[in-house]
Amino acid sequence: MARQPKAPASPAPTFIQSENYQSIYSNNTQLQMSAFDVRLIFGESANISGESQQIEQKVAVVLSLHHAKVFSQMLTKIITEYEQQIGELKLPANAAKPPATGETE
Cβ atoms 75, 2 nearer than 8 A: no
Q: Are 57 and 43 in contact (CB under 8 A)?
A: yes
SS3 44: strand
Report the distance separating Cα 65 and Cα 33, nearest Å: 9
What local confidence, expressed as pLDDT, does residue 98 receive?
61
Q: What is the pLDDT of residue 105?
A: 47
pLDDT at 76 over 50: yes
Tell me the pLDDT tens digit for each residue of 7-64: 778 899 999 999 999 999 999 999 999 999 999 999 998 877 777 788 999 999 999 9
pLDDT at residue 80 above 90? Answer: yes
Q: pTM for the full model?
A: 0.72
